[in-house]
């Protein structure tokens, strides 16, 4: 798929925003939504997306909207690090199919990292069970409480 092009309203993230598809929500405000990736590269892998912006990738979003999005990315990175007790955190943002982007709605991946434990490569992870996602979402959300204090 081309790096530049028209936004497609039918993508899965659009469906999540519209509550057509479910998600394990971590955080939400007026501009952004963070939820667990159902194909996690590591336990606690969270996606952060803009809610009110029709943006395929980082090339077609305003500076103002990108600022709101990265504010949430930072908040979620702190929550993931605390909630998952990780040694580090990886933030990925892929643009275009050549870079590995598979859902063409701008999004950031926030992936907790531990020393000596590799992450599953993007696009190769197995689907997590609802029970796993429920448990992990509670852990990550508990990190949000710690971030707020």
Marked catalytic residue, from 45, 107, 109, 122: 107
Report how far Cα 55 is from the mean position of its chain's Cα atoms. Answer: 15
pLDDT digit string (tens) for 76-128? 999 999 999 999 999 999 999 999 999 999 999 999 999 999 999 888 999 99
Q: Which of 84, 148, 142 minimizes the C-alpha distance to 112?
A: 84
Q: Which of 86, 13, 109, 23 minimizes the C-alpha distance to 56?
A: 13
Q: Which of 30, 61, 28, 60 minimizes the C-alpha distance to 47?
A: 28
Measured CA to CA, the distance from residue 28 to residue 34 in angstroms comes to 6
Binned at pLDDT 50, 70 and 90, residue 2 comes out as low
- The pTM is what? 0.94
Domain 12-148 in this protein, CATH class: alpha beta
pLDDT digit string (tens) for 19-53? 999 999 999 999 999 999 999 999 999 999 999 99
Question: Distance from first CA to last CA of the chain, Å, rounded?
Answer: 43
Q: Using DSSP bridges, classify how beta strands 46-50 and 88-92 pair: parallel, antiparallel or unpaired.
A: unpaired
Task: For CA atoms 60, 62, 63, 65, give the dihedral sign.
Answer: negative
What is the arithmetic mean of pLDDT over 54-75?
96
Q: Is-catalytic flag, 107?
A: yes
Model confidence at 6: pLDDT above 70: yes
């Amino acid at each position: 798929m081309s790096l530049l092009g028209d936004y497609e309203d039918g993508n899965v993230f659009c469906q999540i925003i519209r509550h057509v598809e479910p998600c394990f929500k971590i955080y939400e405000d007026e501009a952004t939504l963070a939820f667990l990736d159902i194909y996690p590269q590591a336990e606690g892998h969270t996606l952060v997306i803009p809610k009110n912006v029709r943006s395929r990738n980082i090339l077609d979003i305003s500076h103002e909207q990108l600022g709101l999005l990265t504010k949430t990315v930072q908040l979620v990175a702190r929550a993931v690090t605390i909630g998952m007790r990780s040694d580090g955190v990886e933030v990925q943002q892929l643009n275009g199919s050549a870079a590995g982007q598979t859902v063409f709605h701008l999004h950031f991946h926030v992936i907790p990292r531990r020393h000596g434990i590799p992450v599953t490569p993007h696009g190769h992870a197995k689907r997590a069970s609802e029970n796993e996602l429920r448990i992990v979402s509670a852990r990550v959300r508990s990190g949000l409480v710690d971030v707020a204090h």
